[in-house]
A and B are shown apart, each in its own frame.
Chain A
Amino acid sequence: MDVPYFASLFRDLLSGLPLTLNLAFLALLGGFVLALLLNLARTTRTGTAIAGTYVFFFRGTPLLVQLFMIYFGIAQFEFIRSSFLWPLLREPYWCGLIALMLNDAAYTSEILRGGLRAVPRGTQEAARVSGMSSLQILRRVTLPIAVRQALPAYSNEIISMLKSTALVSMISLMDVTGIAREAVAETWRAVEIFLCAGLIYLVLSLIVTRATSRAERALSPWQFGARQ
Chain B
Amino acid sequence: MKIRHLCQIFLVFLILSFLTVKSAYAYIDPGSGLLLWQLVFSFFVGALFSIKKILRFFWRKKNKE
A binds B: no
Could you tell me which A residues sit within 8 Å of B by CB distance? none
Q: Write the residues of chain B forming the contact surface with A, with a CB cutoff of 8 angstroms.
A: none
